[in-house]
Each structure stands twice: as structure tokens, then as C-alpha cells.
Amino acid sequence: MKATVQQQQLAHGVGIVARAVTPRSTLPVLSNILIKTDEGRLRLSATNLELGISTWLGAQIMEEGGITVPARTFVDLVSNLPSDEVTLTVDKRTQSLNIRCGTLNTDIKGISAEEFPPMPTPDMETAIPLNIENFKEMIQQVVFAASSEDTRPNLTGVHMTTSEDELVMAATDGYRISISSAPMAQAPTQKLDALIPARALSELSRVAVTNEETLLMAFPAGRGQVIFHLKDVELVSQLIEGNFPNYSAIIPPSFKTRTVLNTANLLKACKQTEIIAREGNYIARLDIQPDEGSDKVAQLQLSATSEQTGSSEVIVDASVDGVPLLISFNIRYLREALEVVRTANVLLETNAANTPGMIRPVGDDSFKHIIMPMNISR
């Protein structure tokens, strides 16, 4: 193989695929990045056998071929090259990659491209077209609620389903549930029910740019995989086996108290309270008080106490419809939910101190977040 490519393009491509590399693996090739010519372009790929990412770069191809090289070495080298043309040449005899750029001339020992795991080719005829901007927002609204504990693999994923022409995504770690929905431009031929690793969707959100025209999502039959296809990027992920909790049964059908607050003000108050609460298991009390005439206006008081740090109280103006309530939530969970709310005002709905609360953007029914309460002693 021999090809030339601009350093900026190469650095961008390496940055896209490198996150799929396995740093420490029993298979040395999984610690490498595949560099290969592909129909007049240069293809970069990396995989850990659960997640694989490929990107295609515009390049001048003088000789076909490929090689895999250690990701860490290649990433560090490319990022430190001058903004100039880079020439990549594979020496088949020594299985090494020669890199020339400016005054630099470096050889990196590699592994044959034939040892790199094959990446699946998606069937685009059955692929589902998605609006990138909407899909990225859905991802951001749910992935943070997925569990990071491998002891319950089904909670480390995002549950994706379709209902007529609507796409629904949900994630939970057992303490909170985040649900986002959006209309689909084209209804799938078959009803969708898949559990996709949250990490894979986070990586997709990172590499997808909003000016792309369309994102295609495909589920190859019988392979237990999902493939996301962009203009110059392709991401493939294994699906998670197992059942996702029936979260609909957890959502209260009605609420006794509805509290409307300014999103930015509540978020700021949560951040202030979290400084103290993080030393006390993130427990924060929410004292919801409705308007009781001229003596007492409606408000929400956030408070936290820590034996190590001290105590904190902050009051947020509110519009409260319903009965007073003292309830405790994990303040970090509350803050993370508010960070993905895009409307000026947010609605907090509650029933009792021992039942879940729900956060919803005012005027937007596409997102809801349910938080389990924490036990408190009065």
C-alpha cells in the first residue's frame, strides 16, 4: 500500500476510530488501527469485537493494500505531525508502515491486515433513515441514565422501540429512568425492539455531525448487531441480550403536586446544593411549598447536609399546584436530567415522599425523566 493524505484529515479520522480500540487485549490486533485502501479512498477501522468504527478519507492511492498498527503510537504520531501532506507506505516484507511528513521519516511495526476482524457490510435496502439532529438529542437525553455496572448488562443499554411512526428510547440504572421520543420520517417495515449499548450510542453522538443529510440504521438479520451508516463513517455494535424492565409500570398515572420552575434557576440551585450533598451520598431535600396567601409565596427549597462539609439551603421561585411535600432525591441525578432539558421552564411532578417524581420540559412531551426518591429521616 502507498497513499498520501492531508495531516488534518488523517488526524480527524484517527480521532474518530481510536475510541473503539481495546488498550489491553489478549488479541494484539485489537490494540491496532486498520489502515487500508478501499475503492479509491483510505479506510481507518478499529474494534473491540463489541464496538467497531470505520471512517473513509479522501486520499491519493498509488498502491492498494493495508496494515494494522498500534493505535496509541499511531495516534500520538499523527497528532504531532505538521499540517502537511502525509505519505503512508506499507513494507510487506517487514510488515511495517513508513510515515513521511515534512522532515519526519518514521517506521512503525504492524500486524497483517488479514488478521483484523472483518467488519459487517450493512444491507441499506432495509435501513431506517433517521434525522441526525433529533437522534443525537435523543441519545443525549437518555444515555446518562444507563447503568455503568456490568453486573446487570441489560441496564447498560438503551432500549429502542418503535410505535407506528415514532421512535422511543429509554435507559435506566434502577434508580432513574430517562425516556425520549421523536417522530420518524419513514416507519420501519418491522416493529423495532432492540437493546443497544449506551456506550455505542455515545460514540455515535460524538462522531455524527449535524450537517449530515441522513443517518441510516440497519439491523442485519440473525447477527445480533446494529449498524449506523453516515456519509464517511460507519459504526457497528453488538446488541445486548436480555429483557429491559417494563418501565411503563413504574410511571405514576397521576400526580398530586405539580411544580413549575425556571430551568436555568433550578439547575444552578442543584449545582450549588451538590457541592455539599456530594459528601453525603448526594442526598438533597426538596421542600415544595404552594402559595398560601400574602404570607407565604410558592417556592422550592433545596437543602443538603454533610458531616464532613457543612450544610446548604437555596430557594427557587416556583409555581406550585397541589399539596406541600418534603421529598429527597439524588441531587446529581436531578442535575443531570435538567442539563438535557431545552425549554425555559421545567415541570416537577410528585405524589409522596416514598414515590417516584417526574421531570418534564414545559411544552414538550418528547422527554420525561423519572427519579426514585431517597429515604430521609424527618
What is the 3-state secondary structure of 296-352?
A: CCCEEEEEEEECCCEEEEEEEEEEEECCCEEEEEEHHHHHHHHCCCCCCEEEEEECC
Q: How do strand 51-58 and strand 96-101 relate by DSSP bridges?
A: unpaired
What integer pLDDT is reported at residue 25 of this predicted model?
Answer: 79
Count of other CB atoms within 10 angstroms of residue 213: 9
State the Cα–Cα distance between residues 345 and 316, nearest whole angstrom: 12
Residue 79 is given by DSSP the state: H
* Identity of the amino acid at 203: E
Angle of CA points 325, 144, 121, to nearest 5° = 150
Burial class (CB in 10 A: 0-12, 13-18, 19+), 82: exposed
What integer pLDDT is reported at residue 294 of this predicted model?
Answer: 58
Query: Are the C-beta atoms of 376 and 283 separated by less than 8 Å?
Result: yes
Query: What is the H or E stretch that residue 61 is in?
Result: strand 60-63
Q: Which three cell numbers stand for residue 230?
A: 453516515
- pLDDT tens for each residue of 145-188: 999 998 899 999 999 998 878 999 999 999 999 999 999 877 77
Say which residue the cell 423519572 belongs to. Answer: 370
Count of other CB atoms within 10 angstroms of residue 300: 21
What integer pLDDT is reported at residue 223 of this predicted model?
Answer: 84
Cα 116 from chain centre: 26
What's the average model confidence in pLDDT over 96-119? 96
- Please indicate whether residue 220 or residue 293 has the higher confidence score (pLDDT): 220
What integer pLDDT is reported at residue 212 of this predicted model?
Answer: 64
State the Cα–Cα distance between residues 81 and 23, nearest whole angstrom: 23
Q: Which three cell numbers stand for residue 151?
A: 453486573
Which domains are present in the chain?
2-115 (3.10.150.10), 124-247 (3.10.150.10), 252-371 (3.10.150.10)
pTM: 0.92
- pLDDT tens for each residue of 35-80: 999 999 999 999 999 999 999 999 999 999 999 999 999 999 999 9
What integer pLDDT is reported at residue 368 of this predicted model?
Answer: 97
Q: How do strand 257-262 and strand 128-130 relate by DSSP bridges?
A: unpaired
Find the range with the poorest average confidence among 83-92, 114-123, 356-365: 114-123
DSSP-based three-state secondary structure for 357: strand
Find the range with the poorest average confidence among 191-200, 217-226, 327-336: 217-226
State the Cα–Cα distance between residues 306 and 151, nearest whole angstrom: 30
**For residue 190, is pLDDT > 90?**
no
State the Cα–Cα distance between residues 373 and 175, nearest whole angstrom: 8
State the Cα–Cα distance between residues 29 and 27, nearest whole angstrom: 6
Share of the chain above pLDDT 70, in %: 97
**For residue 378, is pLDDT > 60?**
no
- pLDDT tens for each residue of 9-42: 999 999 999 999 987 778 999 999 999 999 999 9
* Identity of the amino acid at 327: I
What integer pLDDT is reported at residue 179 of this predicted model?
Answer: 97
What's the average model confidence in pLDDT over 82-99? 96
- pLDDT tens for each residue of 257-285: 999 999 999 999 999 999 999 988 999 99
Mean of the per-residue pLDDT values of the chain: 93
Q: How do strand 166-172 and strand 325-330 relate by DSSP bridges?
A: unpaired
What integer pLDDT is reported at residue 315 of this predicted model?
Answer: 96
The CA-atom distances, in angstroms, between 39 and each of 1, 43, 228 are 13, 9, 20
- Please indicate whether residue 209 or residue 104 has the higher confidence score (pLDDT): 104
Query: Are the C-beta atoms of 101 and 7 separated by less than 8 Å?
Result: yes
What integer pLDDT is reported at residue 54 of this predicted model?
Answer: 97
**For residue 296, is pLDDT > 80?**
no
What integer pLDDT is reported at residue 21 of this predicted model?
Answer: 93
Query: Are the C-beta atoms of 217 and 137 separated by less than 8 Å?
Result: no
What integer pLDDT is reported at residue 120 of this predicted model?
Answer: 80
**190: which residues sit within 8 A by CB, 6+ positions away?**
none
Starting at the edge strand found earlier in the chain, the sheet holding 193-197 runs: 193-197, 157-163, 166-172, 176-183, 367-371, 357-361, 345-350, 257-262, 310-321, 299-306, 283-289, 325-330
Cα 8 from chain centre: 26
- pLDDT tens for each residue of 200-256: 999 999 998 866 667 999 998 888 999 999 989 999 999 999 899 999 888 999 999
